[in-house]
Amino acid sequence: MSDGAALLLQGNEAVVEGALAAGIGFYGGYPITPASEIAEMLSRRLPERGGVFIQMEDEIASLAAVIGASIGGLKAATATSGPGFSLMQENLGFASAAEIPCVIIDVQRAGPSTGLPTAPSQGDVMQARWGTHGDHPIIALCPSSVSEAYHLTIRAFNLSEKYRTPVILLMDEVIAHLREKFVLPPPGSVEVVDRIQATVPPEWYFPYEETDNDVPPMVSFGEGYRYHIDGLFHDRAGFPTSRGDEIRPWVERVFRKIDRNLADIVHTEEEMTEDATAVLVSYGSTARSARYAMHRAREKHRRVGLLTLQTIWPFPEQAIDHLAQQARRILVAEMNRGQLLLEVERVVKGRCEVRGINRADGEMVEPRQIMEALEL
């Protein structure tokens, strides 16, 4: 696409542009509303630049192929929506366990089950966190504009490469199909991160060893470093083990590699919170309604602020903790029955009032509902 010119892009298109800017080399996916545009566009754009696009037989296979391609050295992604995201949970766990970088774009639609395929939701928040079985860290990002869809897609790839972890771009249908003006940054102007490569000879290479930064280098298959990758708990060489003394360091390291880098991973944005006694907390398209409501409140000289979460997992505990000390009320606006609300309550620990502003009927949370909650 033409660089420097203003484009009228929808969120799904911005995701594609972001993925290409981040260096995507492989896309494997299965058709699903409201994410299909991403696959359709990449099916044209990827072969043009020598990358690989494949439509797999289902979402399980899609993420499996993505992980395989990443092991083969390509930056890889898939896109889906609720029902497909449910099917991906198994291999999402594999990517976590085997520490394989990959990006999963979930364009949330109303559910459970087939739900409302063309209607928005933010109902997959907890599924993104805990959908696959077992304890595991996860990163999930939420764009609330077309521009953010572009930039957070790049960030999703960068974080997945940097920390050897699956990253979920948790978009909602409103942002996916919203069209906004967007100027594509010139090529080379965005930061692109590649996975750390091994600098040691093959006989010294341990794909899961403890390193200073807790992220061991990852070598692609076929480069002379023959090693084993497994979804079973494994030792530092990648081989299955049931020994607690080999498992514990691994479990601790995969959490530590995320926990010690929260400042890098967790992004939030505060607006008019300095003097706020009531703070709206929101993400995705709902944050736009919250912003509108905040401005109306400010017009009436009400001290209302907004915290928008670009990262929802790991949960931005620090930002909430800080606000809990100054605010009298925290209102969590989201297009579900109160999923992230539980996390806010957990962090606030009763220091101020916490209430949810919720909707889960396939319609977005409108400013009016938030204004009513603010008694405007």
Partner 1 sequence: MEKTLDVPYEYLRSHKKFPHVWCPGCGIGIVLGSIIRAVDGLGLSKDEVTMVSGIGCSGRMSVYPDFNTLHTTHGRALAFATGIKLAKPRMTVLVVMGDGDALAIGGNHFIHAARRNIGLTAIVVNNSTYALTGGQVSPTTPLGARTTTSWYGSIEPSFDICRVAEAAGASFVARGTAYHVLELDKLITRAIQKKGFSVVEAISQCPVSYGRFNQMPSGVDMLKWQKDNTVSSAAAGKDECQVSRVKGQGVSSSASGKNAGAGKIVRGVLLDRDLPEYTEEYFKLVERLKSGETGK
Q: What is the largest CA-CA distance in the chain?
A: 69
CA distance 98 to 67: 10
Among 229, 251, 262, 376, binds partner 1 (CB under 8 A): 229
By CB under 8 A, is residue 29 in contact with partner 1? no
Cβ atoms of residues 275 and 297 within 8 Å: no
Among 23, 117, 185, 231, binds partner 1 (CB under 8 A): 231
By CB under 8 A, is residue 41 in contact with partner 1? no
CA distance 21 to 221: 24
Q: Output the smallest distance, CB 105 to partner 1, in A.
A: 17
Residue 79: its H or E element: strand 75-80
By CB under 8 A, is residue 31 in contact with partner 1? no
Q: Which of residues 109-168 bind partner 1 (CB under 8 A)?
A: none
By CB under 8 A, is residue 71 in contact with partner 1? yes
DSSP 8-state assignment for residue 240: B
In the three-class reduction of DSSP (H, G, I as helix; E, B as strand; rest coil), residue 107 is classed as: strand
Among 237, 247, 262, 342, binds partner 1 (CB under 8 A): 237
Which range of residues in 134-142, 221-229, 263-271, 354-362 is near partner 1 by CB under 8 A? Answer: 221-229
Q: Which of 223, 252 has the CB closer to partner 1?
A: 223
Tokens of 98: 């085997």
Q: Which of 92, 281 has the CB closer to partner 1?
A: 92
Tokens of 108: 């949330």
Cβ atoms of residues 156 and 103 within 8 Å: yes
Q: Which residue has the tokens 């399980």?
A: 60
Q: Output the smallest distance, CB 57 to partner 1, in A.
A: 4
Q: Output the smallest distance, CB 28 to partner 1, in A.
A: 6
CA distance 233 to 235: 7
Provide the 10 A C-beta neighbour count for residue 267.
Answer: 15
CA distance 181 to 124: 28
Q: Output the smallest distance, CB 48 to partner 1, in A.
A: 5
Instruction: Give the total of residues touching partner 1 (CB under 8 A).
Output: 44
What is the contact surface with partner 1 in residues (CB under 8 A)?
25-26, 28, 47-48, 50, 52, 54, 56-58, 60-62, 64-74, 76, 90-91, 94, 220-224, 226-232, 237, 239-240
